[in-house]
Structure 1
Amino acid sequence: MSFIKTYNMTNIEKNIIIGSLLGDGSLALYGRSKNAYYREHGCTKQVPYRKWKAERLKNLDFKLLTTCKNPQLRSPSNKIYTELYNLFYKNREKIITPENIILLNHPIGLACLYMDDGSLVIDSSKRKNGSIYIFPRISIYTLNFSKYENSILQNYISKTFNVNTKLKERKDGKHFLLEINKRNDIVKFINTVSPFIKEIPCMHYKIKLKERFENKRLELTDKGYKNINSWSENIIKNNYSKDEENFIIKSKQLGTTDKKIASLLGRSYWGIVDKIRRLKLENKI
């Protein structure tokens, strides 16, 4: 009788897998195989990103195989992936349902989806007065999913992470993806996923709004444009004052919930969760 290892998957690990499964990752269950396994291919440029995933998932025995043509992140076969396969696949095709999307309940999962299949674009348009207007948009390329499935994801992201997206129609894939183009939602989204993306230098370009704006401005200047107006650059700073930090520490000592602290400080819930995580790492809580 062969030994089958039992894994205790944490919520963070599960969210990394679910976010990646909605993006570049897949689950495979073939032929006589009793259990499924996770796999993910990527280009050489993204090896540091997949090393980050492998490190985060090392307790689940994930390995990064770099000897093959396209580096591959892979898990062992196990019943925990068979359970996920049954939730996320129908007729061997990935699906989004109201039942499976609730597993994406932490910003690290949203960050993985964005790093896998998202882009930050700094665009420009000409105005009637001859000026050039620079503005950003974020696209999440969920083209492998139907309009209905994208609607499920859209509503869930709004409810869970307080970020509004819109459905955008395209000619390729299943014709729909999610886009964020309103200032407040772009800022909220970036603030939500940044704590995790900051851990991976090769992914920083997906969150560096000011730098990307400046690069676009210089590009347009080099082309001879002079009157360049940009989308509001008063990007909301996520820094905490000393008074806010002390308030958080005292509140946690008194047993105040993260949600209550967020409400009292007028901060986002996930921002407070991340700040508390960092305070714990600094042994302040």
Structure 2
Amino acid sequence: MPFVENTKVYKMNRIERNIIIGSLLGDGSLALYGRSKNAYYREHGCEKQIPYRKWKAEKLKNLDFKILTNCKNPKLCSPSSNIYTKLHNLFYKNGKKVLTPENILLLDHPIGLACLYMDDGSLVIDSSKRKNGSIYIFPRIYIYTLNFSKDENIILKNHIAKKFNIYTKLKKRKDGKHYILEINKKNEIIKFINTVNPFVEQIPCMHYKMKLRERFEEKRLTLINQGYKNINNWSENITENKYSKDEENFIIISKQAGISDRKIASHLGRNYWGIVDKVRRLKLQNRI
């Protein structure tokens, strides 16, 4: 059968672009070879993550993304297009994926950060024994950016701080290119979860990456079964992300008056992206 180059013209919006960029920093890749003049996106995953790939395919359906299940591992892929060739030119150098101060600017919406986390992130509940015999439980969030160099991780670290106001730190490892990003401060962990959760919560198979209370309780019960008794209650002090009726009314009135999401967030002392999502939800409920 003769090779036929895809000629359909695609145009991606901001949400679609961020899903692709966040995934490109994680499990996704861009391929450009053979007789094709243009690159295409591809992403492999295990069967347990098929619902996650289906979520991506649905979000990217206007770009004709499909899931192929007739191969060893389910694959999410796009048609070839010049929009991916342009991205390939930005994110690949000598056939290897790279991060630069220029291309990282394309990650500018929390849905992209959520995709990076769901692809290559994890919530770890750790513990340490104190001198008085008590056990301290604490969380860490890791983003396994081992495919990127130290300098590239610093670029990503600085961008996440500047764009999303979330502060990570470099953590050295023996594998890969030796560096990943870590969040270990309570306020930053909560801020990160509040930023990405509106998107992660749409995918049940990914909920375990968000459920701090449940994961803490599992760890606590494990330690109790091991004979430990004096265990801290970190999880009981987690700040809830719920909005009071007064806050909801303030948001509704403010939006009706044309006040920006950023000013509303500043007035309420809330995360900007959290307000963006709350406004979206209120609109879906026809309350704005």
* TM-score between the two structures when normalised by the length of structure 1: 0.98
Q: Which residue of 1 aligns with 2:211?
A: 208
Query: By how many angstroms is 1:92 displaced?
Result: 0.8
SS state at 1:167 partner: strand
2:62 aligned with 1:59, yes or no? yes
Q: How does 1:147-162 map to 2 (within 5 A)?
A: 147-162=150-165
8 A contact 1:132–1:225 mirrored in 2 = yes
Query: By how many angstroms is 1:232 displaced?
Result: 5.4
Q: Which residue of 2 aligns with 1:142?
A: 145
Query: By how many angstroms is 1:31 displaced?
Result: 3.1
1:241 corresponds to which of 240, 244, 249: 244
Query: By how many angstroms is 1:3 displaced?
Result: 6.4
Separation in structure 2 between the aligned mates of residue 19 and residue 258 of structure 1, nearest angstrom: 24
Query: By how many angstroms is 1:32 displaced?
Result: 2.8
2:91 aligned with 1:88, yes or no? yes
Separation in structure 2 between the aligned mates of residue 3 and residue 211 of structure 1, nearest angstrom: 47
Separation in structure 2 between the aligned mates of residue 125 and residue 18 of structure 1, nearest angstrom: 37
Separation in structure 1 between the aligned mates of residue 149 and residue 233 of structure 2, nearest angstrom: 34
Q: How does 1:22-61 map to 2 (within 5 A)?
A: 22-61=25-64
Separation in structure 1 between the aligned mates of residue 268 and residue 136 of structure 2, nearest angstrom: 34
Query: By how many angstroms is 1:248 displaced?
Result: 1.0
1:253 corresponds to which of 240, 256, 276: 256
Query: By how many angstroms is 1:2 displaced?
Result: 6.5
Q: Paired residues, what number?
A: 285
1:106 corresponds to which of 109, 119, 139: 109
Select between 235-244 and 9-18 the one with higher mean Cα deviation: 235-244
Separation in structure 2 between the aligned mates of residue 156 and residue 234 of structure 1, nearest angstrom: 29
Q: How does 1:147-186 map to 2 (within 5 A)?
A: 147-186=150-189
SS state at 2:174 partner: coil
Structure 2: gaps spanning 5 or more residues: none
Separation in structure 1 between the aligned mates of residue 201 and residue 223 of structure 2, nearest angstrom: 28
2:283 aligned with 1:275, yes or no? no
8 A contact 2:6–2:79 mirrored in 1 = no
Separation in structure 2 between the aligned mates of residue 146 and residue 240 of structure 1, nearest angstrom: 40
Would you identify which runs of 4 or more consecutive aligned residues in structure 1 move more than 6 Å?
none
SS state at 1:184 partner: helix
Separation in structure 2 between the aligned mates of residue 280 and residue 267 of structure 1, nearest angstrom: 19
Separation in structure 2 between the aligned mates of residue 152 and residue 17 of structure 1, nearest angstrom: 19
Query: By how many angstroms is 1:227 displaced?
Result: 1.4
Deviations along 1:63-105, one digit per CA (max 9) or x if unpaired, are 0111211000000000000000001100111111000001100
Deviations along 1:208-229, one digit per CA (max 9) or x if unpaired, are 0000000000011111111112
Residue identity in the other structure for 1:150: N
SS state at 1:229 partner: coil
2:9 aligned with 1:6, yes or no? yes
Query: By how many angstroms is 1:111 displaced?
Result: 0.3
Residue identity in the other structure for 2:281: R
8 A contact 1:135–1:230 mirrored in 2 = no
% identical equivalent positions:
77
